[in-house]
Amino acid sequence: MTANTLPADPYWSRLEDHWEAVDRQDPVVWGDGSGPWPAPQLASYAEDGFQFSPALLSPAESARLLEQAEQLAASVDRRAAGVISEPGGGAVRSVFRVHREHEAFAQLCRDPRIVAAVRQILGGEVYIHQSRINYKPAFNGKEFFWHSDFETWHVEDGMPRMRAVSFSINLTENNEFNGPLMVVDKSHELYIRCVGETPDDHFQQSLRRQEYGVPSRDALQMLVERGRGIEAPKGGPGSATLFDGNTMHGSVGNLSPAPRTNLFLVFNSVENRLVEPFGGKPPRPEFLGERDVVPVSQL
C-alpha cells in the first residue's frame, strides 16, 4: 500500500505487514471539565490514561454483585451467545451483556458515582457499548493478552472516534498473584496499527485467545519505555479502575488459590454511536457492541 492509497480513516489498522504508532487524533477529556472530579484528578486521568479508585463501592454492594456473578456463572447456558469458556473448554471465562439481562448490573450502570464521572470525561450523555463479567478461576484462569480496546471497537465494531471509557470494577480482591488488570501508562496517547488481516468471525476465537488486533513486542516495549511503565492498580472488592478506550491493557493468568472476578462496563458517547466496521467485515454480534443506543438514564 502506498501513501497515495492509504484510507482517510485516521485509525485504520490490520492493513500492512508491519506495525506503526501514530498520534491520537481525539481529545481524552471531551467535556468542559465540569463534574464531580476536581481539576487535578481530571488532569491526572488525561495524562495517564487511567484512574484508580480504592473504594468505589462499599463491601456490602460488592458482596451482593459477586453473589449475582457467581450465580450467573453457575446457571448460565454455556452454549448461549455471549457466554465464553476458557481456552480448551472448562470454566466460564466471560459472560457478556449483563446490563441487559440482570437488574443489579443495569442499576449499577445508572449509578451517579459512575455515570457523573463518565459524562464529565466524554462530554455528555452516554450509553453502554458493552458489559461483561470476566472470571479467572483459581489456579488456571487464563491471561488476557495486551490490547487496546478501541482498535478492535473501531476495526470490528465501527466505533468512529476515541470517545469511550471502561470501568473495571473488582468484585473480588485483585492482587499480584491472581492476575490483576495491568495498564501501560500514557499508552492512550498513541494509536498502534496492528498487523494481520482480520479473519472472518474473528470474535469466536479472539474472546478465548486474541491473535489479531494485538501489539507487536516492539510496539509494546516502545509504549512501556515512553511512559512510567506497566502499572497494576490492585485493590479489594469495590475498588475500580476507569481507563480510556485506547489505553493498552491486559492481565496474566491466575496461578493462585483465589479466584478473580471483575465487572467491566464500557460507556460510549451517544454522539459516537457505531457505524459500519472500518475493517470491511460484518459487525460483531450486539453482545459485543450495542448498536441499539439506549442512554443509561433509560436503562
Q: How many CB atoms lie within 10 A of CB 220?
A: 20
Distance separating alpha carbons of residues 37 and 53, to the nearest angstrom:
12
Are the beta carbons of 13 and 156 closer than 8 angstroms? Answer: no
CA atoms within 13 A on the CB side of 280: 9
Q: Cell for 271?
A: 454522539
Q: Identify the pLDDT of residue 3.
A: 40
List, run by run, the mean pLDDT of 10-residue segments along the chain (299 residues): 59 92 97 95 98 97 96 88 80 92 93 97 97 93 91 96 98 96 98 83 50 85 95 97 97 94 98 96 94 92
Instruction: Give the position of cell 468505589.
Output: 56
Residue 230 CA to residue 250 CA, distance in Å, equals 10
In the chain, the domains with their CATH numbers are 30-252+274-298 (2.60.120.620)
CB 227 within 8 A of CB 148: no
pLDDT at 211: 61
Q: What is the pLDDT of residue 66?
A: 97
